[in-house]
Amino acid sequence: MTPISTAPNPAPRQNGPTGPNGTMQPGQPAITPVQPSSTSGAPSFSFDPATIQTTKGNTFAVNLVISGAQNVYSVPVQLNYDPKILQLLNISNGGFLSQDGQAVALVHREDDGLGQVTITASRPPGSGGVTGQGTVVTLTFQAKATGQSPLNITRGGARDPALQSIAVTGAQAAVTVQ
């Protein structure tokens, strides 16, 4: 496990590289933005973008977004992907837990052979929780081979400042490598 303390660093949102006439540029990933989750009040995860199309050798970023969060202190999640298709390159703070200027500790463990990563993003002790919607972490992948790979949250949730579990609905994204 590698602890990393980061200051707020909201990731830039990518809407897909286009040329002057609005057409896709060759070799660049097509990115479809995700609409906010249901407004039922129950916390949920989503990937932004939810659908990614790229070519072999390219890198791309995907945000893990939480919506409907109330008093969230830490976010532990486990994600799976196809390791024959994708390679995880980086995990960075997305800004949700550090929206009030607090540092966020990111601890993650990757198993490249299984295509699995376990991530915990936490606020400092005594800092309280945050509420709302935002990007928890940004994951950067490289497309290793042609094919399709889901990005699945296999275990996930949130914790309040008393470390009580908060149920959060999972999410899935689809990556197509050409």
- The 10s digit of each residue's pLDDT in 46-69 is 999 999 999 999 999 999 999 999
Query: Domain map of the chain by residue range?
Result: 1-6+56-167+173-177
Q: Read off the pLDDT of residues 103-130 as tens digits, 9 standing for 90 and up.
A: 999 999 999 899 999 999 999 999 999 9
Q: What is the mean pLDDT of residues 138-167?
A: 97
Calculate the alpha carbon distances from 75 to 15, 24, 66, 113, 135 in Å: 26, 35, 9, 24, 11
What does pTM read for this prediction?
Answer: 0.78
User: 95 burial class (0-12, 13-18, 19+ CB within 10 angstroms)?
Assistant: buried
Query: Comparing C-alpha atoms, which of 33, 54, 43 is closest to residue 142?
Result: 54
> How is domain 1-6+56-167+173-177 classified at the CATH fold level?
Immunoglobulin-like (2.60.40)
Cβ count near 12 (within 10 Å): 7
